[in-house]
Chain A
Amino acid sequence: MAETPNPAPAQSTVTLKIDGQSVTVPKGTNVLEAARSLGVSISFFCYHPGLSSPAVCRQCLVEVKGQPKPVPSCYTPCADNMDVLTQSEKALTVRQQMLEFTLVNHPVDCPICDKAGECTLQKLYVEWDSAHARMDYEKVHKPKKVDLGPTIVLDAERCILCTRCIRVCDEVAHDHQLEMSYRGDRETISVAPGKQLDNPYSLNTVDVCPVGALTAKDFRFQMRAWELMTTSSVCAGCATGCNDEIHHARGEIYRLVPRENQDVNKFWMCDDGRMTYHEIRQNRVAGARVQGETVPLDKALSFAADRIVALRGSSGSSGLLGVVANAQATNEDNYLLLKVASALGVDRVYLAGRPARPDCADDILRHADMNPNTAGARAIAQALMPGKAKGVPQLAADLEGGALKALWILGDHVDLDEEAQAALARLEVCIYQTPHQNFLSDKVNVLLPAAAWAEVDGTFTNAKGLVQRIRRAVEPPGEARPHRELIQLLGRKLGIALDYPNVRMLFKEMKQAVPEFAAAEYGRELPVVQLRFAGSRG
């Protein structure tokens, strides 16, 4: 991760005045950040709080008393007794002139630009002067569609040469793939010789781009930014748990973008994580199935409950029932499943999930564990059934050895080989709650439609042990319901009283039961915000 250029030494602060207000900040803080902490807005393009400041756009110029010329606030460290004027006539004039200068060669093709609605340049121009161009020469024309790599297209005309994208590659991905070429008004962003923009963090360049110069091929022309609604959630792609925003409109998800969290992902997110939204709506199970036939959900639940009750009558209290918790499901789902299991006297508990992919891991954000909730599922299993939780290899061995007659599986990824799958198909009852169809869905005799991660409220615990809130962005298809609701319904049919009208109650109970979650808080309910009211993201 990019470190701040000058880490502030402890207990060393400076006090300065900004627009007459006194503010004390750690030594090394730049004037722009100090002003932002006071709520004073200074326009800028090239500065980004997660990157270094080259002070190339000159859009953040402020007046400092005693200095003959305006200074770039993003590049000027705060000093004691400094007197900064951000809204003086001189500062405002010079910033307005810089904006006009930036717009000289900008094509202003907002109607066909994908960034319109979340563009910093557009926002500043409309807020500030909305004046007609005084330039009456023809603008410099540059290539409108430059293929920079597998994920990104550059419109060189729209680029305002802030170099944020170059710094993202250098400082976040640690791979120098972009650079400036040519000079003057011919200057343009291009890929470094012999390279292309294909690092695993390349789409962050699109997020930081203050204009519509860089566009993601995945999102290009799909939807206008102002139509999008944002729901704050957490990426389910790996155990890092990057905080993200789900951008959706009319029940469809269009993209995932990172959300700032200094403890987890700072400002960034990997490309693989962003693409996880595609699979949410693919191969969905929309209705319950019993032995391959589509039936109403209630009937499927009754069928499963009857079989389990019959087994419990014939082969002892546990009924040779096993449950499979899943690292893909939320803490609440796993907790409820194991609670039901312990009430039923089940002692065979397994923990499934996607197989790890060490080839995808790096020391920036990406984690080898491809499950969002491994730590949480483990902690819950340890708290509710200490020492009993086994892995998938043990599940395969038990299936092939005939130690199980019934199985209740949560989530979609259970990595079983051919023989274990054949053994699974021979079980008396196998309940499989899944959002997606896969190789297991034909082998089981009770298939229940579950909601995917973007369709539920709940919490994930990331590899660092942070319990993070995920929020429901879109409705699940058909009869699909969150895992916890399916467990409650089936639990009731098995005679176990479960009544959790909302997730928060379930979370409160879980917090008391699982020591790892004692300090965790269930996140606030956030209103769904329409992107056009959220200001620019650039």
Chain B
Amino acid sequence: METTFRKRTSKATVKVVPRPETLNKELMLGGIIQGLAVTMRHFFQNVAREKPEVTINYPEERLKYPLRNRGLHRLMHREDDSVRCVACMCCPTACPAHCITIVAEETGNGNEKRPAIFEIDELRCIVCGLCVEACPCDAIRMDTGEHMHVVDRRDDAILGKVDLMKRGISSTAVQGGEPNWQERVKTVPDPRFR
């Protein structure tokens, strides 16, 4: 067999740092009392209703998520309800968790390319949103506000093209930008977008 072992060049060892030990720390009694004091303070404050409760009764009560919250993915539609994605593979390239699998195929109509298979392993997804950033045609979004579903088997967490498109709607974004975007962008007050 062609197995070679690289010689170890550095001798890495564990450095032991001595810490000054006090009696209080050795006994751990002070820490316990301090911790219990915090717990009891919150307990009595809750009982006395001095402050609003810090917990909510999920799932009956739900917090309002901010607009930019990233939930489950969805795939957007064209006007004729076909998939917007052109299988450019920018999202699997950008994905740091390698959770997106795309197999491209020819459409046969005017649009050149589309995904034959588009799968996202939601268990692998780290919800970073880089796929949305990378998408050049507003095909993938994470704005559903939905949480990851409870699954019994790992395979069930892999969402296919049909599942992803079920949540999608028709996107009105214009491919290549609005016709007069160069003029309109001059009116944007933020200099970063000029």
Q: A136-B182, A221-B104, A226-B93 are in contact. Are A112 and B113 (CB under 8 A)?
A: yes
**In A208-237, which residues have CB < 8 Å from any B CB?**
220-222, 224, 226-227
The answer to the question of B2 belonging to the interface, with a C-beta cut-off of 8 Å to chain A, is yes
The answer on a CB contact under 8 Å between B104 and A501 is: no
Could you say which of A144, A221, A457 has the most chain B C-beta atoms within 10 Å of its C-beta? A221
Q: A112-B112, A227-B93 are in contact. Are A502 and B2 (CB under 8 A)?
A: yes
Closest B residue, CB atoms, query A134: B182
Q: A136-B182, A145-B112, A501-B2 are in contact. Are A112 and B86 (CB under 8 A)?
A: yes
The answer on a CB contact under 8 Å between A144 and B88 is: no
The answer to the question of B133 belonging to the interface, with a C-beta cut-off of 8 Å to chain A, is no
Closest A residue, CB atoms, query B102: A224
Instruction: Please measure, in the bound complex, the distance between the C-alpha atom of A224 and the C-alpha atom of B182, giving whole angstroms.
Output: 31
The answer on a CB contact under 8 Å between B137 and A144 is: no
Could you say which of A111, A145, A222, A485 has the most chain B C-beta atoms within 10 Å of its C-beta? A111
Instruction: Please measure, in the bound complex, the distance between the C-alpha atom of A136 and the C-alpha atom of B181, giving whole angstroms.
Output: 11
**In B86-134, which residues have CB < 8 Å from any A CB?**
86-90, 93, 104-106, 110, 112-113
Instruction: Please measure, in the bound complex, the distance between the C-alpha atom of A136 and the C-alpha atom of B176, giving whole angstroms.
Output: 13
Closest B residue, CB atoms, query A500: B2
Find chain A residues with CB under 8 A from B105 CB. Answer: 221
The answer on a CB contact under 8 Å between B89 and A224 is: yes
Within the complex, what minimum Cβ distance (angstroms) separates A34 from chain B?
38
Chain A at the B interface: SS class: loop
Q: A132-B182, A221-B104, A224-B89 are in contact. Are A111 and B1 (CB under 8 A)?
A: no
The answer to the question of B136 belonging to the interface, with a C-beta cut-off of 8 Å to chain A, is yes
The answer on a CB contact under 8 Å between B137 and A111 is: yes
Q: A111-B86, A112-B112, A144-B112 are in contact. Are A224 and B93 (CB under 8 A)?
A: yes
Closest B residue, CB atoms, query A504: B2
The answer on a CB contact under 8 Å between B87 and A112 is: yes
- 28 A–B contacts, CB within 8 A, in A order: A111-B86, A111-B88, A111-B137, A112-B86, A112-B87, A112-B88, A112-B112, A112-B113, A132-B182, A136-B182, A144-B112, A145-B112, A220-B106, A221-B87, A221-B104, A222-B104, A224-B88, A226-B93, A227-B89, A457-B2, A485-B1, A501-B1, A501-B2, A501-B3, A501-B4, A502-B2, A502-B4, A503-B2
Additional pairs, 4, CB under 8 Å, beyond known A224-B93, A485-B1: A136-B182, A221-B104, A221-B106, A503-B2
The 4 closest A-B pairs by CB, nearest first: A111-B88, A221-B104, A224-B89, A111-B136
